[in-house]
Structure formats: structure tokens, C-alpha cells
Structure 1
Amino acid sequence: MTADETETTEFDPSDYDMTITRTFDAPRERVFEAWTDPDRVEQWWGPAGFTSTVHELEVRPGGAFRLDMHAPDGTVYPDSGEFHEVEPPERLVLTSRAFEDEDGAYGLEVYNTVTFAERGGRTELTLEAEVIAARPEVAEALEGMELGWSQSLEKLDDTVAA
């Protein structure tokens, strides 16, 4: 194969941008609270089989969050970020950062917009995740991001249905 026949693919973080919409059989105030109360967040944040520990959750513009996701194999995945917009019970906008290296640089940064729409006593949640920065070495994690969020939202469904 000559050089002209090889295809080079560049890593483009925006290829992993996604939008997920899910309807919950719960009032939007309850669904919004599940995103903003540390005890509730610990009940659902993370893919199937994961648990989470919330260390900080300051739900206000400029407020920080910091949590650890614990994988079934014992691996801990720290996640942190900040809130940009908080409009109860309609909207949250936050940046999340993960895969911090020894120099304090993050391998992944995602800008998330979460809207909560009232639908006759039910809640339509829309999560828009825009990958604003990512290193190529986190591509595997990015490939699982949509599945991970889908599984987290399944756990959220169980949390708000109770």
C-alpha cells in the first residue's frame, strides 16, 4: 500500500458529542432534585455496576462539584467540574472534567446542558454533552460515554420512581 492509499484519521473530540432524551414518570421537581442533592446523586451517578461518592456539590453558578465513580473492579474515576447555569427546576449547565494527569491537566472536558421539561406530571429530560477537549488516549472512554449516560439515566429512573 502506498502512502497515497493509506487513510489517516485524526482524533476529533466533537465526534463524540451526543444528545439523549428520556422521559421519567416523576415530576420535574423530583428529577431536578435528584441532580442537585448529593445523597440522591450518589444513588444514580455512574454506569451500571458503578457506585459514586459525592465530595462536593455546590449547585449555583460558579459552584463546584467533585465526585468519585467506583467501578466494579475497584478502580476509582474522579470527576469534577463547575456549574455555569442553575435554573430550578428547568435547566442545569455544567462542565465536567475527568482523567486528570500528574500535572493536573485533564484528559477530558465536557460541556453539559440538562433540561427538564414538564410533560403532564412526567419529566422529559434532555442531556446535551459537547466534548470541548479530549486527549486521544481517552477515546475508549468517549466511545462508552453514551452507553454510560444511558445506564446512569436508567438508575436515575429507578431513583425518582421511588
Structure 2
Amino acid sequence: MSRLLLPIDHGPRAVDEPARAALLHDLRRLPRRAQQVFLLNRLDQLTFAQIAERLNLPLTRVEQLMIEALHSTSAKPLAVNAQATRWYIRLQSPAATACERIDFRRWLDASPVHLQAFHATELHWRSLLAPARELGDQGWYRTGRAAFSLGGCSLALGLGAAALLAFGLWSSGV
């Protein structure tokens, strides 16, 4: 199937500045985990299996997060485009079976609209490279779950301080 999927830097479609800014805005609105999965795949070129192992996620969850990333940045909510997106992501998964690949070929051959939608999905995928580079420019997505939010870090620090205070009060009272 790799012959159907275009390489990451295979002639990225030129995207004007307002469109790039809109794509970046859409990517920033994704949940952090979806952003992380998307950036690990898009920038670090990790496979879905590698991402699943690295983040301790089921492979199906990685696929769902990738579909969410593509859908969130797509302007065309047509059903055929949603199908094309699901096929595009599924075919990149190591869990895609030979039967699924045959089903995809049948779907693709069933209508010229399917081929157009799949091609549009590939072009859209390529247009996300520049916004992805900007979103991941600090490399935050390579860190573990603990670094995802200041809220989570603040909560952990607060609980740690409360535990130390409680332990200090408890030990002085004994």
C-alpha cells in the first residue's frame, strides 16, 4: 500500500498564509494527545505501531486520533471525504489486513468521486506539514504525559506540597 500513499515531503501543496494559519489554529484546538500522536507521525515519521508502543496506547486509539486530526482540519464534511480519511489512516496502520486493502481497492474503483476524495485527502495531508512543524517547533510532543499541561504539573506539585505539609504536621505531633 505504500505505493498509494505519498511520501511526507513529496511536493507539498503550496498553502497561502491565511490557509496555513487556519490549519495551525485547527491543529491547536485538538486535544493534546491527538496533537502528540499527529506530530509524532507527521514530524518524526513514526509508524502507528511505534506511536502506540511509545505512548502505551492501543493501535486503534492511535488510528482514531489521527482521523480526528485530519477531520479537524478538513473543510469538507461530506461523507465520501470522511470515508477517504478513514481509508487513508487505516491503510497506514500495520493492522490493515489484505481483505481491507481489497475492500479499499473496490471502494476506490466504485466511483470517480471516491478517487477524487482520496486524492484530496492525500493533498490535504501534505498541506499539514508546515503547520505541524510550527505546532511542534519546541519538541514538546516528544515528552511524556506529565509534561502535557501546566494544570497537571501544578496539581502534582500541590499534592506533593500538601503531602509534605501533612507529613510534617503528623510527624511533629507524634
TM class, shorter-length: 0.3 to 0.5
**Which is helix-richer, 1 or 2?**
2
Using the size of structure 1 for normalisation, the TM-score is 0.33
TM-score (norm 2): 0.31
Larger Rg: 2
Which of 1 and 2 has higher RCO (CA within 8 Å, sep 6+)? 2
Which structure shows the higher strand fraction? 1
